[in-house]
Structure 1
Amino acid sequence: MPEVSQYKPLNCAFNTIQGVFVENIEQAAKRLSEQGLIEYYKGAELLAKIGQGDTLSIVFLKTMPWIGEFYGDGSIQKIVDFAYQKISRTPNKDAVKPFLNSFIDVIEHTNNDQLDEYLNLIEYHLNKTTFSIHGIHDTHASPSLLSMLANMRLLLEQLEFEGIYKWINYGLRYFQDHPKRQEEYFSLLSADSKAVFQRQRKGLLFIDVERKINLFQRALWKTEFMYAPYSPDFEKLEHFRPYLEDNIIRLPDIYELFNGVNACKRYMALMAHLIAHHQFTTKIIADNVSPQQRFFTEIFEDARVEYLAMQEYPGLKNLWLNLIPIVDEFDCDDKYQSCLRHRAIMLTYALLDDNHHYKNKILLDYVEKFKTLMNTGKTSTSDSLNLGLKYLIKTRSASDALANMYFENTEVTYRDDNRSMWLFIEKFDEEDNIFEHQKKSEEEDEDQVEVIPPHYYDEWDYSYETYKPDWVAVYERLHSHSDASKIDRILDKHSALVKQLKKVLDLLKPQNKKRLRYQEEGAELDLDIALRSVIDIKNGSQPDTRINVDFEHDSRSVSVLLLLDLSESLNKVVGKFGQTILELSQEAVSLLAWAVEQLGDNFSISGFNSNTRQKVMYYHIKGYGEHWDDTVKARLADLRAEFSTRMGAAIRHGAHYLDLQQSDKKLMLVLTDGEPADIDIYDPKTLIQDAHKAVQEVQQKGIYPYCISLDKKADEYIVDIFGSHYSVIDRIESLPQELPKLFLSLTK
């Protein structure tokens, strides 16, 4: 290879460029073909002469040897032509340097035949965002190109090109004429930018399988934990792990195929592991246990709870084993690096798989101890602590303290951070009884309102006929309570109506039993069929063997959600008695709840209001599993009307719970006094069309939505939302009489 001095110098006047050229020419000669080297020369010389100083050529000389080698002959010329023609000769000339630098990331996340695809993407964004202002002849630079180039690594790492185009198009659709908001969007700083980005990522989004995973956990352990997905990309949680705490499961918002296990099964593996901990793990004090001791204790505890879960559901074994990495016994050399994690992953696999190939005597000894312990049928988290401490002592090595630690294939992705098994008591050192203190704290917490992370829902944009992803945040909480006797006084006030309803309810109540004839086996002999069979036998015919009669419980299979609009307008006074719409609603709901309790239907009451898309409140007043008692009455007595009516989000959230009920008929009753509206919406059709879309969505789930409107002007918009499924009550003061009757007619 020639010496540096033998290469032709660049034809440019910048000594700084010549110096960088000398430093990089040998690298370029190694990596580039003869044609590529010519392109390298010409590109550096051209960029030095376009009036932007020496910076562009310096960046070019440092990066292009690798770029040209990756994309092949002709690629450097394409990049130079694009930088010169499409960027530097436009108001976007400040973007040339970031554009050239972006290729450091681009070659890591594209194939060597995708250069044109990347250049087309940049050109598309440039053409759509470089603009002119009316009356000014100068064209203005793209307000967002620099922002997008700064995030190019993340975009290419997480999205396919098709997904990037969709992300760009969403930003253009809403912010093309708003430079500041456009810059914020393409910087991935705004909530809607992140939401669209997340929807386009490679892999399976948790929201797409949430219902399936929820049914899985209910079938497995009959639990119904809430979910709070997190996104490591935006929350800077590179080493964050899932966990279950305060009945909320924190888990990744997206999974990809891993070790041949699809994303949905990965979520199932995670869910099964978390709930196994919830079922079988008890807290142990962690203060005198070192991090390494906790590390191995957690391995034994993970294996213990999984072993117990597999006794009931054997199929979980293969699901979990497929997600545990398998390492060779001699992959780690403890002379040069810490093998702590290497020993841990071998132990993890060996504890679950009897067919492992490891020969280490200590490992085999502790696997046998673990199996012996599990075969006793009586184990606890303390046993895992005992095994973990002893195993660490037996395997401890001086190399464990080395900074160079073996990490490759040592992460079990479906396992949590095990916070559920440790109790730290430093701040309670002076307490006589830490467990008594913990019990008191838990009792105090019950009196506080539990803060649950918001649920995000799409909102329909009728003007573009598309969804705004994760546009609305719905916060749910248990409604506050006051004096339950207020509701009892309401029922006493309407005692005459209660008596009328009771007569109707008695007619609607199902019979206790329904006879099933023609059964092979049953509770009683069906004499008519039995005699006919005897005659058949005597006549030499084949007798009917279904000679028994059985009985089944005959009941109404109905689940109902009453969704109350609790917006400010309910404070309006109506009627000659000076009652507010809210007070009349309380009376009507009280009578309805009493009636439904008599029927035994599965019934829930919730309320909602909103204060922009960032805060839609969803209040639980009566749950499906609760009876009509003083606790529920106390919540209903404390209803307050405030803020606005973002109906679509509330309908979607209510349907989320109603859909989980196991009934033949599911009815959603929406009680409202006006059209959907919110203070951040200026087009009145926006929330009407979104509510209509939400109604269509719940109908597709097999839910029957029905609206009871107290607005005399409802005919102007109610059909657009609910079609023919509505009633308008013009005399609002008659609501207490009309609502129970309407419910009974809908559920006959």
Structure 2
Amino acid sequence: MTEEVQYKPLDCAFESVQAVFALNIEQAVEHLSEASLSEYYEGAEFLAKIGQGDKLSIAFLKTMPWAGEHFGDGSIKKITDFTYNKICRTPNKPAVEKFLDSFIIVVDHIDKDQLDEYLALIEYHLSETTFSIHGIHDTHPSPSLIAMLANINLLLEQLDFKGIYEWINYGLRYFKDHPERQEEYFTLTTADSKAVFQRQRKGLLFSDIERPINLFQQALWKTNFMYAPYSPDFEALEHFHPYLEDEVIRLPDIYSDLNGVNGCKRYMALIAHIIAHHQFTTKIVADNVSPQQRFFTEVFEDARVEYLAIQQYPGLKKLWLSLMPVVDEFDCDDTRQSCLRHRAIMLTRALLDDNHPYQNQIILDYVEKFKELMSRGETTTSDSLSLGLGYLIKTRSASDALGSIYFENTEVSYRDDNRSIWLFIEEFDEEDNIFEHQKKSEDEDDEEVEVIPPHYYDEWDYAYESYKPDWAAVYERLHTHTNASKIDQILDKHSSLVKQLKKVLDLLKPQNKKRVRYQEEGVELDLDIALRSVIDIKNGSQPDTRINVDFEHDSRSVSVLLLLDLSQSLNEVAGSSGQTILELSQEAVSLLAWAVEQLGDNFAIAGFNSDTRQKVMYYHIKGYSEHWDDTVKSRLADLKAEFSTRMGAAIRHGAHYLDMQQSDKKLMLILTDGEPADIDMHDSKALIQDTHKAVQEAQQKGMYPYCISLDKKADEYIADIFGSHYSVIDRIESLPKELPQLFLSLTT
């Protein structure tokens, strides 16, 4: 390349453009080929002469050296032509500068052969959002292109092109004819925009595999912890880690592949590690232990619980090692930076990997000590503390206090924050969440209420035949309580009905014994098998030792969820009875709960109401593990009816818990007095169709949703929701008698 080509002047009358050119030409000459450099000159001169001022050329000169180097010859001309033909010649001229600036970000996120895809994406958005009025072609600019370009870094970083198109199409579907709302959507500030964005992110969403992961933890440890996902963006910003606390596992809501390990296996590695701590870790006092001492204690404790888990499930070792970094022993220079984390990650690998590459004698010595300890059995968390303190003393260096710390590849992605190890004696000392100690109300009569983050559920949009992602927020709460004697009085009131039910229940209770053969231990000898074993012994063969017979009762394998509509309309008086619908519902549910308790079926009661999609309340009245006692009765006695009936979200949340039950038959009974409705919905069909979709989703999971309606007008809509799986009780006064009988007919 000649001196003349490198520094030839730019044919442009704008002094501002010439100044920017002078600042960027050396960069362009250094990074661009001769062909691309020629495109660079021609593009800058062309944009300066099309009557759009100097801003386009200035943006072009600043960004094209990077774009031309990344995308190669021909790319700068392609961008110049697109800028002029697709943007400058439309009403979208104000977006040109933002479009050109975007290439500083674009080159960091897409491959060199994806320029055409990016340009096609911008063209698609332009063509769909640039609109006209009264047939005047392209009169108004896109209200959202600049907003989208402002978020291009986030879009390209977390979504692939398919995901971006899905996100754009959702915005077009609902806001194409609403410019202001369209702009809000594409700024990524609205709830639905964020929800759609979350759904399209690169990787595996936890919500898509929650059931198999739950089965995984049940299979390994017979545990059934709940999950509360959080965004990995929060994890990156706050250095947040997964953890188990209060029977809830907090974990990332999405995982992408890592080291060739897919998202599902990463979740399995995480769950297995967290529950291994739950099984084998006992808390030790942390107040007199320094941060560095805690750090290395955690390294040994992580290895200890994983070692114990591997003894039961050897396959976990390969899974965990596949996600554990391997660093070079000499990567960290302790004369310039702290190598504390570097030493820790080498030790972490060496403790579990017999084929580790490290030769450091102290590491080898402590690996040997660890193996000796584990071979003796009966280890405790205190042993990890002793090893951690000893290792730190042996390896401590003056450089450990340096401000520059070696971090590269020192994080084990599947491990938790180890809060399960430490007990802080002093109140609030070094705790992350002091808010759990605060009360919801200062009233001495009020209970302490734990505020739980909402569960978000999709809602079906029948007009577009698609889901609105994370549309309804469901808040869980344990129902308030009052005097349980109110329910006892109800049972006394219906004593004659109770006696009738008892006769029926006695017939339904499992009575027969089932003979189970081939048992090592049992109540009597199985003569046929025993005789055959004697013959085997005499013939010199290995006898079958399963020579006993045992008996077990035939049992009903039924799980039931009774879901109560607690909307405002239940306060209406039913017929001439003088009782409200709510009071009759209390009586019916009390009789049903008593009946189910007699049968021994797995049974839960929950109530729901709503005040817009942002607040769907789900009240726990009786849990599956609770018995029909005064605690449950006191909650049922305090039922209140208020707000509206967003039934689809409540069914989805109830199905979430019913799906976890291990039963052959799963019945969801929905007791309601009206059609699904809410104050933020103007289309009467919308929530009916959404509830129908929620019912279908539950059926696909093997559940049997059945509705008992107290609405005399139910025939107008209920079949559209439940098909033939419903009953309408016209005489609400008969509900206490009919509900238990209906339950028995559905479960026999």
Q: Give the TM-score, by structure 2 length.
A: 0.92
Q: Deviations over 1:601-651 (max 9, x none)?
A: 111111111111111111111111111111111111111111111111111
Q: Deviations over 1:634-692 (max 9, x none)?
A: 11111111111111111111111111111111111110000000111111111111111
Q: Tell whether the 8 Å contact from 2:235 to 2:241 is kept in structure 1 after alignment.
A: no
Q: Deviations over 1:443-499 (max 9, x none)?
A: x9x952232221111111111111111111111121111111110000000000001
Q: Tell whether the 8 Å contact from 2:669 to 2:706 is kept in structure 1 after alignment.
A: yes
Identify the residue that residue 467 of structure 1 maps to in structure 2: 467
Three-state SS of the structure 1 residue aligned to 2:682 is coil
CA separation of 1:234 and 1:411: change in aligned 2, threshold 3 A? closer
CA separation of 1:332 and 1:598: change in aligned 2, threshold 3 A? same
Measured in 2, the distance between the counterparts of 1:278 and 1:523 equals: 37
Q: Deviations over 1:152-181 (max 9, x none)?
A: 111111111111111000011111122222
Measured in 2, the distance between the counterparts of 1:171 and 1:59 equals: 29
Q: Deviations over 1:547-595 (max 9, x none)?
A: 9976332111111111111111111111323111010000000000111
Identify the residue that residue 640 of structure 2 maps to in structure 1: 640
Map of 1:99-138 to 2, 5 A cutoff?
Answer: 99-134=99-134
- 1:217 matched to 2:211? The reply is no
CA separation of 1:295 and 1:642: change in aligned 2, threshold 3 A? same
Measured in 1, the distance between the counterparts of 2:199 and 2:74 equals: 36
Map of 1:489-504 to 2, 5 A cutoff?
Answer: 489-504=489-504
| Structure 1 range deviating more: 165-174 or 6-15 | 6-15
Three-state SS of the structure 2 residue aligned to 1:260 is coil
Identify the residue that residue 667 of structure 1 maps to in structure 2: 667
CA separation of 1:526 and 1:70: change in aligned 2, threshold 3 A? closer
Offset of residue 29 of structure 1: 2.5
| Structure 1 range deviating more: 720-729 or 616-625 | 616-625
Q: Tell whether the 8 Å contact from 2:131 to 2:137 is kept in structure 1 after alignment.
A: no
Q: Tell whether the 8 Å contact from 1:143 to 1:179 is kept in structure 2 after alignment.
A: yes
Map of 1:215-614 to 2, 5 A cutoff?
Answer: 215-233=215-233, 237=237, 239-427=239-427, 448-515=448-515, 551-614=551-614
Q: Which stretches in structure 1 are left out of the alignment for 5+ residues?
A: 430-436, 439-443, 532-545
Identify the residue that residue 678 of structure 1 maps to in structure 2: 678
Three-state SS of the structure 1 residue aligned to 2:636 is helix
Identify the residue that residue 703 of structure 1 maps to in structure 2: 703
CA separation of 1:717 and 1:417: change in aligned 2, threshold 3 A? same
Three-state SS of the structure 1 residue aligned to 2:404 is coil
Measured in 1, the distance between the counterparts of 2:621 and 2:125 equals: 49
Offset of residue 107 of structure 1: 1.5
CA separation of 1:427 and 1:515: change in aligned 2, threshold 3 A? closer
Measured in 2, the distance between the counterparts of 1:600 and 1:427 equals: 43
The letter of the residue matching 1:82 is F
| Structure 1 range deviating more: 184-193 or 512-521 | 512-521
CA separation of 1:566 and 1:253: change in aligned 2, threshold 3 A? same
Measured in 2, the distance between the counterparts of 1:686 and 1:237 equals: 39
Identify the residue that residue 156 of structure 1 maps to in structure 2: 156
Identify the residue that residue 434 of structure 2 maps to in structure 1: none
CA separation of 1:334 and 1:706: change in aligned 2, threshold 3 A? same
Q: Tell whether the 8 Å contact from 2:87 to 2:96 is kept in structure 1 after alignment.
A: yes
- 1:744 matched to 2:738? The reply is no
Measured in 1, the distance between the counterparts of 2:6 and 2:695 equals: 76
| Structure 1 range deviating more: 612-621 or 730-739 | 612-621
The letter of the residue matching 1:681 is M
The letter of the residue matching 1:451 is V
| Structure 1 range deviating more: 41-50 or 578-587 | 41-50
Q: Aligned residues: percent identity?
A: 81
Q: Tell whether the 8 Å contact from 1:70 to 1:112 is kept in structure 2 after alignment.
A: yes
Offset of residue 708 of structure 1: 0.4
Q: Tell whether the 8 Å contact from 1:518 to 1:549 is kept in structure 2 after alignment.
A: yes
Measured in 2, the distance between the counterparts of 1:194 and 1:296 equals: 39
Q: Tell whether the 8 Å contact from 1:520 to 1:547 is kept in structure 2 after alignment.
A: yes
Offset of residue 530 of structure 1: 12
Offset of residue 199 of structure 1: 1.2
Identify the residue that residue 690 of structure 2 maps to in structure 1: 690
Measured in 2, the distance between the counterparts of 1:231 and 1:99 equals: 29
Offset of residue 118 of structure 1: 0.7
Q: Tell whether the 8 Å contact from 2:234 to 2:240 is kept in structure 1 after alignment.
A: no
Measured in 2, the distance between the counterparts of 1:560 and 1:479 equals: 19
Measured in 1, the distance between the counterparts of 2:451 and 2:387 equals: 38
Three-state SS of the structure 1 residue aligned to 2:413 is coil
Measured in 1, the distance between the counterparts of 2:496 and 2:383 equals: 65
What is the number of equivalent residue pairs in this alignment?
Answer: 726
The letter of the residue matching 1:357 is P
Measured in 2, the distance between the counterparts of 1:13 and 1:743 equals: 87
Measured in 2, the distance between the counterparts of 1:456 and 1:52 equals: 47
CA separation of 1:285 and 1:50: change in aligned 2, threshold 3 A? farther
CA separation of 1:511 and 1:403: change in aligned 2, threshold 3 A? same
Q: Tell whether the 8 Å contact from 1:564 to 1:607 is kept in structure 2 after alignment.
A: yes
CA separation of 1:642 and 1:346: change in aligned 2, threshold 3 A? same
CA separation of 1:380 and 1:521: change in aligned 2, threshold 3 A? closer
Q: Deviations over 1:502-548 (max 9, x none)?
A: 111111112141346899998657899999xxxxxxxxxxxxxx999
Q: Tell whether the 8 Å contact from 2:285 to 2:424 is kept in structure 1 after alignment.
A: yes
| Structure 1 range deviating more: 235-244 or 573-582 | 235-244
Q: Deviations over 1:26-53 (max 9, x none)?
A: 3323332332222111111122233443
Three-state SS of the structure 1 residue aligned to 2:362 is helix
Identify the residue that residue 537 of structure 1 maps to in structure 2: none
Measured in 1, the distance between the counterparts of 2:152 and 2:468 equals: 23
Q: Tell whether the 8 Å contact from 1:4 to 1:26 is kept in structure 2 after alignment.
A: no
Q: Tell whether the 8 Å contact from 2:131 to 2:138 is kept in structure 1 after alignment.
A: no
| Structure 1 range deviating more: 114-123 or 391-400 | 391-400
CA separation of 1:427 and 1:724: change in aligned 2, threshold 3 A? closer
Identify the residue that residue 10 of structure 2 maps to in structure 1: 10
CA separation of 1:519 and 1:330: change in aligned 2, threshold 3 A? closer
Q: Tell whether the 8 Å contact from 1:4 to 1:22 is kept in structure 2 after alignment.
A: no
Measured in 2, the distance between the counterparts of 1:290 and 1:345 equals: 19
Q: Tell whether the 8 Å contact from 1:232 to 1:238 is kept in structure 2 after alignment.
A: no
Three-state SS of the structure 1 residue aligned to 2:468 is strand
Three-state SS of the structure 2 residue aligned to 1:653 is helix
CA separation of 1:213 and 1:447: change in aligned 2, threshold 3 A? farther
Offset of residue 723 of structure 1: 0.5
Q: Tell whether the 8 Å contact from 2:28 to 2:65 is kept in structure 1 after alignment.
A: yes
Identify the residue that residue 716 of structure 1 maps to in structure 2: 716
Measured in 2, the distance between the counterparts of 1:505 and 1:164 equals: 58
Q: Tell whether the 8 Å contact from 1:4 to 1:25 is kept in structure 2 after alignment.
A: no
Measured in 2, the distance between the counterparts of 1:357 and 1:517 equals: 53
